[in-house]
C-alpha cells in the first residue's frame, strides 16, 4: 500500500519522505527500486535513485537485475535525457552486470520510442562490434525511423542488415515498409512488398497490409486502401479494429462513400468508435437501419 500512495503524492512531499527513509528499510532492495523510477521522469529524482542503487549493491551484496537498468533507460529517454540513458547502459558493468544484446535492444527501443533516433543510431554504430547483432536490433532502429518519418535512413539500415548476413524476417520488412509508407514513399514500399514475397519467400502478415491501409488512408487514396484491405482478407488474414476504423473514417468522413463504408463495417472488426462514425448519418437519414 505504501508505494501506490507514495506515487500519488505531490513532488515536495514525495521528496521529503524519500530523503528520510531509514538506511535499513527492508523493502528497499527490490520493491522501492522497482517503483521509484516509475515517477522519476516527472520528479527528476535520478541522483537519489542511483545513490540507493549503489547502496543496495555495496552493503547488501545482492545481485542486481538488469531490468532495474531498463527502467532507467525508459525514464531517462522519456525525460529527454538520451545521453544519461546511454550512460546508465555503460554503468551496468560497475554494478556487476555484463550488458548483452538484449540490454542494448531495450535501450535502443527506449531511445527510439521517445524520439531519440539519431542518438540510438549513433550508439548502435559505436558498439555494434561488441554485441551479437541480429535482425531484431535493426528492426528496432527501422521502427524508430518510421516514427520520425525517415525512410532513407530505414532503407540504409535494412540494406546494411542484409549485407551483414542477418536473417531477413517479416518483422524487419514490416518496420521498413512502415518507414517508407510514413515517409510517403508508396511506390518504393510496393516494390519492397513484392521483393519480400518473391526474393525472400516471406508471406506478409496482417500488420504488413495494415501499414499500407493506414498510409493510403492518410493520403486519401480510398481505392488503394480498399485494395490492400481486400488483399488482407484474401490471404486469410484478419485486420485489426484500428485498420478497419481507418478505412471507415476515410470512406465515410472524407469521401462521403456511405455504402462502401457500411460494407467495410459489416465485414470487419468493430468497436464503439466504429459505430460512432455512422451516428450522424443515421440520425439524419429517413431510413432507420443501423449496421448490425
The predicted-structure confidence for 148-188, as pLDDT tens digits, reads as follows 999 999 999 999 999 999 999 999 999 999 999 999 999 99
101-122: average pLDDT: 97
Question: How far is residue 216 from each of residues 34, 154, 185, 273, measured CA to CA in Å?
Answer: 42, 20, 11, 20
- Band the pLDDT of 286: cuts 50, 70, 90: very low
**Residue 137 in this model has a pLDDT that exceeds 60:** yes
User: What pLDDT shows up at residue 230?
Assistant: 87
82-102: average pLDDT: 94
**Residue 284 in this model has a pLDDT that exceeds 50:** no
**Range with the poorest average pLDDT among 79-83, 127-131, 179-183, 220-224:** 220-224
5-20: average pLDDT: 49
Q: Please state, in angstroms and rounded to a whole number, the distance separating the CA atoms of residues 25 and 22.
A: 5
Q: Please state, in angstroms and rounded to a whole number, the distance separating the CA atoms of residues 177 and 38.
A: 33
Structure-model confidence comparison of residues 263 and 16, the more confident one: 263
Q: Are 200 and 234 in contact (CB under 8 A)?
A: no
**Residue 35 in this model has a pLDDT that exceeds 60:** no
Q: Give the contacts of 41 (CB within 8 A, at least 6 positions apart).
A: 75, 78, 79
Question: How far is residue 77 from each of residues 49, 89, 111, measured CA to CA in Å?
Answer: 16, 12, 6
Q: Please state, in angstroms and rounded to a whole number, the distance separating the CA atoms of residues 139 and 51.
A: 35
- Nearest 5°: CA angle at 227, between 151 and 178? 20
User: What pLDDT shows up at residue 291?
Assistant: 45
Q: Please state, in angstroms and rounded to a whole number, the distance separating the CA atoms of residues 131 and 127.
A: 7
136-149: average pLDDT: 96
Give me 12's grid cell.
515536495
64-87: average pLDDT: 91
**Residue 88 in this model has a pLDDT that exceeds 90:** yes
Share of the chain above pLDDT 70, in %: 68
Residue whose entry in the numeric block shows the C-alpha cell 535501450: 107
Choose among 110, 107, 96: nearest CA to 64.
Answer: 96
What's 97's DSSP letter?
-
Q: Give the contacts of 290 (CB within 8 A, at least 6 positions apart).
A: 278, 282
**Residue 288 in this model has a pLDDT that exceeds 70:** no
How does pLDDT run across 181-237, given as a tens digit for each residue?
999 999 999 999 999 999 999 999 999 999 999 999 888 888 898 899 888 888 888
User: What pLDDT shows up at residue 89?
Assistant: 97
User: What pLDDT shows up at residue 189?
Assistant: 97
**Range with the poorest average pLDDT among 2-11, 84-93, 273-282:** 273-282
Model pTM score = 0.76
Q: Give the contacts of 53 (CB within 8 A, at least 6 positions apart).
A: 33, 64, 68, 95
Mean confidence (pLDDT) of the chain: 78
User: What pLDDT shows up at residue 257?
Assistant: 54
User: What pLDDT shows up at residue 252?
Assistant: 67
User: What pLDDT shows up at residue 287?
Assistant: 42
Amino acid at each position: 500500500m505504501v508505494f501506490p500512495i507514495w506515487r500519488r503524492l505531490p513532488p515536495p512531499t514525495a521528496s521529503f519522505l524519500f530523503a528520510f527513509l531509514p538506511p535499513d528499510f527492508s523493502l528497499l532492495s527490490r520493491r522501492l527500486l522497482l517503483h521509484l523510477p516509475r515517477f522519476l521522469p516527472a520528479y527528476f529524482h535520478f541522483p537519489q535513485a542511483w545513490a540507493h542503487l549503489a547502496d543496495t549493491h555495496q552493503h547488501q551484496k545482492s545481485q542486481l537485475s538488469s531490468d532495474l537498468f531498463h527502467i532507467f533507460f525508459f525514464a531517462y529517454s522519456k525525460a529527454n535525457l538520451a545521453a544519461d540513458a546511454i550512460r546508465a547502459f555503460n554503468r551496468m558493468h560497475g554494478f556487476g552486470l555484463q550488458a548483452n544484446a538484449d540490454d542494448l535492444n531495450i535501450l535502443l527501443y527506449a531511445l527510439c520510442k521517445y524520439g531519440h533516433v539519431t542518438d540510438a543510431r549513433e550508439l548502435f554504430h559505436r558498439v555494434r562490434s561488441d554485441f551479437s547483432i541480429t535482425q531484431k536490433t535493426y528492426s528496432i532502429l527501422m521502427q524508430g525511423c518510421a516514427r520520425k518519418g525517415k525512410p532513407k535512413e530505414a532503407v540504409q539500415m535494412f540494406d546494411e542488415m542484409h549485407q551483414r548476413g542477418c536473417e531477413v524476417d517479416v518483422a524487419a520488412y514490416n518496420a521498413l515498409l512502415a518507414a517508407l509508407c510514413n515517409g510517403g514513399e508508396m511506390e518504393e514500399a510496393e516494390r519492397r512488398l513484392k521483393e519480400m514475397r518473391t526474393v525472400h519467400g516471406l508471406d506478409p502478415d496482417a500488420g504488413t497490409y495494415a501499414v499500407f491501409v493506414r498510409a493510403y488512408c492518410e493520403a486519401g487514396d480510398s481505392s488503394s486502401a480498399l485494395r490492400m484491405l481486400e488483399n488482407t482478407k484474401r490471404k486469410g488474414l484478419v485486420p485489426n479494429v484500428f485498420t478497419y476504423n481507418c478505412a471507415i473514417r476515410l470512406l465515410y468522413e472524407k469521401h462521403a462513400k456511405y455504402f462502401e463504408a457500411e460494407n467495410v463495417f459489416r465485414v470487419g472488426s468493430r468497436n464503439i468508435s466504429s459505430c460512432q462514425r455512422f451516428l450522424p448519418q443515421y440520425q439524419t437519414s429517413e431510413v432507420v437501419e443501423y449496421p448490425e
